[in-house]
Each structure stands twice: as structure tokens, then as C-alpha cells.
């Protein structure tokens, strides 16, 4: 439960910081003689801000839904008992979901206060560092409430969705143990998958259209943006279609040791949970990569248009903008990390008996550590590869659709006005490194839990 409050707080704080940052950047740009008065830039800025806040809230919602699903899984015995005594399934579900509302509200308010505080300090520091004292911008505005409200509502909705399994708990489960069938539930998701595929295809077409339009006008980016949203939503909706094969592929990379085999099998045991968690990390990686690649491509286009070199002030503004955005996006990675820790921990708690058996048969603590780490790495590596590929694609499309007209005038570097995608090495390495750290951090607590399982207790209980 604490995890959900943390996630809600982070999302809300992130939203608040974003709004403050966007407002500040807007004021900064207006004061800049080079770019002041550019409405397109202000529009793009706000747009991106909303997107980022939306992503943070979305990832937070996924994590919260997962958390509540696992809370329900842990409370099955108690819920079954209540059902046995005579409580209705709906009332039990409402009880769990209402906790989501409370959790969301607490987290959102806490986050709002924290975020405003951070924003206040940050803008003061920035003003001093960039010698922009006297910049006029409003720190506190009604718009700041928007992320908090959004987070509260989505947390409530996520808890509602995540608590759906309550309806499937039978009173009989209070009297005896039962093993959940995980694969069976997936078979019922046909409708969702069809919608996902449709969204993905439509999104893909819009992306291509955006590139084409971009060759004539910067408005191509709007089309492409719609395509990006639709295609990514399709991907997220259809995550259980796409992720398991990807996870299986990555699993093969990890070798054939006992720990590795079991680790890769574990991620696939509950494909829905693992897929949702993977998508959460994919989002973060995709966004960071997208910004890096988009910036690099745009610089290449503008350099070509300016006859070889970009004007340095312009380049530095673009770079700092991109860096700020990438940093902010990193926040969704933190949210995903919380979700990953949750996922791994729940997996271990639900597998106590199995772990006890393995300890009895001779699985050493070193092998357990390896197994948990590989389980975490399974998800993060898959997410990293998918995110890098997607992010590069989206980034290239973004740059192409925005500045394609500029590139077309200058002839383009890849013929027909298209520019070859530029993938900057440093951001990719940083993302990979951060993913590695995320894996290590996420595996720490679950590992400790797993190594503490005593075979005697686990098998007797």
C-alpha cells in the first residue's frame, strides 16, 4: 500500500514540477531575443509537458493497478472468509477500491506540496545560474491542481481495475488452498487484443502520414503525434500479445543454468503481470530515447539546412531543453522501478512453497540471488531493447515530421527529403546504464526475502 502512495506522490509531484518547468521555460524563451515570441515553440512546449505528465500518470496507473491486483492476491483467504460469512463480492471489491481513492488522494496532495516546493527551489536556482533575475512568471497557478486531481482519479480507477480479481474469489477458497490458473485468463482477452492491433495499425499509418506531411509543413508533427499516441496505446493494450515472445527471446540469452532457466520461466508464469510491468519500463526508455534521437535528427537537419553547421546558441538551447526533458522523463523510470520491486516481491511471496522445496533440494543462496537478479534483468533488458528500438523510431518520425520541409529544401541526406536517423551514443549508454542500476536496485529487497525462506517453514505452512 505504501508503494501506491509513493507512486501517486511521485506522479503528482512530477506533474507539478513539469507545469512549473514549462511555465518557467516559456517565460525564459519569451525573454530570449533569439526565440522570443515564437508561438509554435510555446505550443510545442506545453504539448510535450502534458504528454510527459500523462506518461507519468499512465505508468503510475499501471503500477497501481498491478499493486492492487497483488494486494487482492495476498488477501484471498480473508476475502474468501468474508464471502463465506455472507459479504457480497461487490462490497469486498468496493472496500479495496476505496482504499485506492484514499491512497491516491494522500499521495497526490503530498506530491503536489513536494513538487511545488522543488519547483520553487529549482526555479530560484535556475534564475540565479542563468542570470535571469527579474524573470516574470507565476509559480503558483490553478493549473498546478490538475496533476493532483488526475493522479487521484487515475489511482482510484487503477485500484478499481486492479481489484477486479476480488469478484473471482469463491467462498470455498476459505476452506482449502487453490492454485490459480494464469494462462486461462489470457484467453478471454480477445476483444482487447483486436482493439490493440487496430490501434497499432492506425497509429502506424498516421506516423507514416505525419512523415509525408512533414515534408511540406511542420504541422506534420501533429499528425505524427496522434500516430504516436495511438500506436503506443495499441502496444500497451496489447502488451500481453507482444511482450511474452520478447521475454522468451531474452530468456534464451541468459543461458541454460538452473537459476537462469527458472528465472526466465517465472516471468512467463503470469504473463499479464510481467507484460504490464515491462511496458511501464518500456515507456520510460522509449521517451528518453525519443528525445535524444529527435534532438540529434533535428540538429542534423538544421545543420544541413544551414550549410553544414548549426548556430551554437541554437544548438545549446536544444541540448539543454532535451536534457531537461530526458531528466524529467527519468521520473517515470523511478515509478516503474517501484512497480518492478513490487512485482518481484509478490512473485517471491506467492512462491514460498516452491522456494522452500528448492532450498530443500539444494538451491544455494548464491543461486537464489542469481535467480532473482535474472528475473529482474529479464524484464529490464527486454524493456531496454524494445524501448531503444521504439524510441529511435518515434524520435526519427518526430524530427522528420516537424522539420521535414526544411530538410526537403536542403535536399535531405537520405534522398527524397528524408534524413537518415541519427542515434546519439551517449544518451543510449546512459539509458542502458540507468537500466542496469534499476535492475540491481529492484532486485535487492526481493533477494533478501527469498534467501530468508526456510525450507521447513515454507513446506509445512
- Would you state the cell numbers that stand for residue 236, as one nine-digit string? 500497451
377 forms part of the interface with other proteins (CB under 8 A): no
H-assigned helices in 141-257: 145-162, 182-186, 190-214, 220-237, 239-253
Instruction: By CB under 8 A, name the one of 85, 129, 361, 425 that touches other proteins.
Output: 361
Gap between the Cα atoms of 385 and 378, Å rounded = 11
Instruction: By CB under 8 A, name the one of 367, 380, 401, 439 that touches other proteins.
Output: 367
Instruction: By CB under 8 A, name the one of 51, 157, 432, 459 that touches other proteins.
Output: 459
- Which range of residues in 81-89, 203-211, 260-268, 425-433 is near other proteins by CB under 8 A? 260-268
460 forms part of the interface with other proteins (CB under 8 A): yes
359 forms part of the interface with other proteins (CB under 8 A): yes
- Which range of residues in 139-147, 234-242, 333-341, 452-460 is near other proteins by CB under 8 A? 452-460
Phi, psi of 270 (to 5 degrees): -120, 80
176 forms part of the interface with other proteins (CB under 8 A): no
Gap between the Cα atoms of 261 and 265, Å rounded = 6
Please, which of residues 275-314 interact with other proteins by CB under 8 A? none
- Which range of residues in 38-46, 107-115, 262-270, 441-449 is near other proteins by CB under 8 A? 262-270
Contact (CB, 8 A) for 150 and 61: no
Contact (CB, 8 A) for 260 and 240: no
Instruction: By CB under 8 A, name the one of 142, 307, 312, 362 that touches other proteins.
Output: 362
Please, which of residues 122-161 interact with other proteins by CB under 8 A? none
Which residues, in sequence order, are CB contacts of 123 under 8 Å at separation 6+? 20, 24, 137, 139
- The smaller minimum CB distance to other proteins, of residues 335 and 373, is found at 373
- Which range of residues in 52-60, 138-146, 256-264, 330-338 is near other proteins by CB under 8 A? 256-264
DSSP character for 308? S
Neighbouring CB atoms inside 10 A of 188's CB total 8
Gap between the Cα atoms of 363 and 351, Å rounded = 14
DSSP character for 134? T
- Which range of residues in 103-111, 320-328, 335-343, 363-371 is near other proteins by CB under 8 A? 363-371
Find the shortest distance in angstroms from Cβ 450 to other proteins. Answer: 14
Instruction: By CB under 8 A, name the one of 88, 91, 178, 257 that touches other proteins.
Output: 257
Contact (CB, 8 A) for 339 and 7: yes
11 forms part of the interface with other proteins (CB under 8 A): no
Phi, psi of 315 (to 5 degrees): -60, -45
Give the alpha-carbon dihedral of 157, 162, 164, 165, to 10 degrees: -170
Cα 300-303-308 angle, rounded to 5 deg: 120
- Which range of residues in 31-39, 203-211, 255-263, 272-280 is near other proteins by CB under 8 A? 255-263
- The smaller minimum CB distance to other proteins, of residues 224 and 377, is found at 377
Using alpha carbons, select from 211, 198, 9, 196 the residue that is nearest to residue 113: 9
Task: List residues binding other proteins (CB under 8 A).
Answer: 179, 257-258, 261-262, 265-266, 268-269, 353-354, 356-365, 367, 455-456, 459-460
Amino acid at each position: 500500500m505504501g508503494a501506491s502512495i509513493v507512486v501517486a506522490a511521485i506522479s503528482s509531484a512530477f506533474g507539478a514540477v513539469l507545469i512549473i518547468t514549462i511555465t518557467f521555460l516559456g517565460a525564459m524563451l519569451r525573454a530570449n531575443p533569439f526565440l522570443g515570441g515564437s508561438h509554435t515553440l510555446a505550443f510545442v512546449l506545453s504539448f510535450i509537458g502534458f504528454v510527459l505528465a500523462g506518461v507519468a500518470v499512465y505508468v503510475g496507473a499501471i503500477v497501481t493497478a498491478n499493486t492492487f491486483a497483488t494486494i487482492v492476491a495476498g488477501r484471498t483467504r480473508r476475502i474468501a472468509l468474508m464471502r463465506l460469512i455472507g459479504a457480497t463480492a461487490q462490497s469486498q471489491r468496493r472496500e479495496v477500491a476505496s482504499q485506492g481513492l484514499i491512497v491516491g488522494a494522500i499521495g497526490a496532495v503530498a506530491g503536489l506540496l513536494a513538487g511545488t516546493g522543488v519547483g520553487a527551489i529549482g526555479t530560484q536556482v535556475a534564475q540565479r545560474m542563468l542570470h535571469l533575475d527579474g524573470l516574470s512568471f507565476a509559480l503558483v497557478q490553478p493549473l498546478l491542481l490538475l496533476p493532483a486531481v488526475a493522479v487521484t482519479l487515475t489511482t482510484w480507477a487503477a485500484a478499481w481495475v486492479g481489484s477486479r480479481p476480488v469478484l473471482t474469489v469463491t467462498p470455498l477458497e476459505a476452506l482449502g488452498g487453490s492454485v490459480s490458473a494464469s494462462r486461462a485468463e489470457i484467453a478471454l482477452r480477445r476483444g482487447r487484443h483486436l482493439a490493440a492491433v487496430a490501434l497499432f495499425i492506425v497509429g502506424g499509418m498516421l506516423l507514416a502520414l505525419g512523415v509525408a506531411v512533414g515534408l511540406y509543413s511542420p504541422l506534420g508533427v501533429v499528425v505524427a503525434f496522434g500516430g504516436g499516441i495511438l500506436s503506443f496505446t495499441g502496444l500497451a493494450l496489447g502488451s500481453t500479445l507482444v511482450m511474452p515472445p520478447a521475454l522468451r527471446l531474452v530468456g534464451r540469452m541468459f543461458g541454460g543454468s538452473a537459476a537462469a532457466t527458472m528465472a526466465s520461466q517465472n516471468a512467463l508464469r503470469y504473463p499479464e503481470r510481467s507484460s504490464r510491468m515491462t511496458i511501464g519500463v518500456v515507456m520510460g526508455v522509449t521517451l528518453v530515447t525519443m528525445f535524444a534521437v529527435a534532438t540529434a535528427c533535428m540538429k542534423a537537419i538544421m545543420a544541413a539546412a544551414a550549410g553544414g553547421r548549426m548556430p551554437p546558441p541554437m544548438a545549446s538551447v536544444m541540448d539543454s531543453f532535451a536534457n531537461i526533458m530526458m531528466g524529467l522523463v527519468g521520473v517515470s523510470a523511478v515509478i516503474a522501478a517501484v512497480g518492478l520491486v513490487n512485482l518481484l516481491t509478490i512473485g517471491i511471496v506467492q512462491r514460498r512453497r516452491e522456494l522452500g522445496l528448492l532450498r530443500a533440494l539444494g538451491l544455494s543462496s548464491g543461486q537464489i540471488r542469481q535467480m532473482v537478479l535474472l528475473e529482474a534483468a529479464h524484464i529490464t533488458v527486454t524493456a531496454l531493447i524494445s524501448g531503444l528500438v521504439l524510441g529511435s523510431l518515434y524520435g526519427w518520425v518526430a524530427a522528420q515530421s516537424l522539420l521535414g520541409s526544411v530538410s526537403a529544401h536542403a535536399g535531405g541526406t537520405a534522398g527524397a527529403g528524408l534524413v537518415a536517423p541519427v542515434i546519439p551514443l551517449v544518451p543510449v549508454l546512459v539509458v542502458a546504464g540507468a537500466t542496469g542500476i534499476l535492475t540491481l536496485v529492484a532486485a535487492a529487497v526481493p533477494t533478501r526475502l527469498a534467501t530468508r525462506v526456510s525450507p521447513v517453514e515454507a513446506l509445512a505452512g
